[in-house]
Amino acid sequence: MEYHQIARSGQVPEGVVRRFFAGAVEVALSRSEGEIHAMSNYCTHLDCLLSSGKVTDEGLLCSCHGSVFDYDSGEPLQPPATRPVTVFPVKEEGGHIYVGIDEGLAEAAMRRRAAESRRLSPPAATS
Ligand code: FES
């Protein structure tokens, strides 16, 4: 697994969630009780951006319909979401935030609609 430096520590103060990118992967970085957390930026309910949500004591709140996702497991603690959001390993060193991403995590963190259209698209024509 490769760790990507995606933010400076000061860019994610306590109680704040912000969007960052690791290549093409969109990551919601948040800080709660001093600890940094990294999740896919797409809510598993209807793809709203979690970086537009709120940090709560329980987890990250999606501002669209109120689902809350556990920081560590990504499991939804409040409906309407029923599927966990992808959580990335994260570390903070020397004033920088690093997120661990491999191919599987990057795929799992895709927008739901993008993942579905990829599954539904017909195989490429062969000549
Ligand atoms: S899109 Fe997040 S709760 Fe509906």
Quote the number of domains for the chain: 1
49 lines ligand 1 (CB under 6 A): no
Cα of 86 to ligand 1 centre, how many Å? 15
Q: Is 3 exposed, middle or buried (0-12, 13-18, 19+ CB in 10 A)?
A: middle
Give tens-digit pLDDT for 38-86: 999 999 999 999 999 999 999 999 999 999 999 999 999 999 999 999 9
Does residue 107 lie within any of the structural domains?
Answer: yes
CA 124 to chain centre: 30
Domain of residue 43, CATH code: 2.102.10.10
Q: Which domain holds residue 114?
A: 2-119
**Predicted local confidence at residue 113, as pLDDT:** 64
Does residue 124 lie within any of the structural domains?
Answer: no
Most distant CA pair in the chain: distance in Å?
Answer: 58
Checking if the pLDDT of 120 tops 80, the result is no
**Mean pLDDT for all residues in the chain:** 91
- Cα gap 47→20, rounded to integer Å: 16
